[in-house]
């Protein structure tokens, strides 16, 4: 049984390490993509007259990309913890999970509030959320 476990470890550990590295790389690329997305939104607006109230759209767009990046980071931490369940990895996993959860909750509220505010400013009907 010991030889079989060693053989599994010889395959699993490098695979898990590569997967964690890939997920961390995707996290970085996701943040970069968010930066490109908000730059693409902001650049055409340069030189235009400023609106009465600054839009939170760019900030919320970037925050959405950051939330996705945290998902990748959480995946990387889960994989790293499965192959090396050290106290440091467990703490990192817990911290990232808590941050991601709070970020997603507050981001969802902010996006909904921003939508409602934009609807009111346009004079459109206010749509009530249906109970889930």
46 to 14, 24, 41, 43, 72: CA distances (angstroms): 48, 33, 10, 5, 33
What is the tens place of the pLDDT at every residue in 99-129? 888 887 887 788 788 778 878 877 755 555 5
Residue 78: helix, strand or coil by DSSP? helix
Q: Would you list the domain boundaries of the chain? A: 2-122
The token pair that represents 55 in the structure block: 């839009």
Average pLDDT over residues 4-28: 89
Angle between helices 57-83 and 2-42 (to 10 degrees): 170
Classify the C-alpha dihedral 87-88-90-95 as positive or negative.
positive
What is the tens place of the pLDDT at every residue in 25-82? 999 999 999 999 988 877 776 667 666 555 677 778 888 888 889 889 888 888 888 8
- 131 pLDDT band, cuts 50/70/90, is low
The rounded distance, in Å, linking the Cα atoms of 19 and 78 is 10
């Amino acid at each position: 049984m010991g030889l079989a476990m060693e053989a599994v470890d010889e395959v699993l550990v490098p695979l898990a390490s590569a997967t964690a590295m890939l997920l961390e790389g995707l996290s970085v690329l996701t943040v970069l993509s968010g930066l490109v997305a908000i730059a693409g939104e902001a650049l055409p607006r340069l030189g235009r007259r400023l609106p009465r109230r600054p839009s939170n759209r760019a900030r919320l767009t970037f925050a959405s990309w950051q939330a996705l990046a945290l998902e990748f980071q959480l995946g990387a931490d889960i994989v790293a913890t499965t192959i090396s369940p050290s106290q440091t990895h467990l703490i990192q996993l817990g911290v990232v999970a808590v941050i991601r959860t709070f970020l997603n909750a507050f981001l969802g509220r902010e996006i909904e509030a921003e939508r409602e505010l934009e609807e009111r400013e346009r004079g459109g009907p206010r749509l009530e959320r249906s109970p889930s």
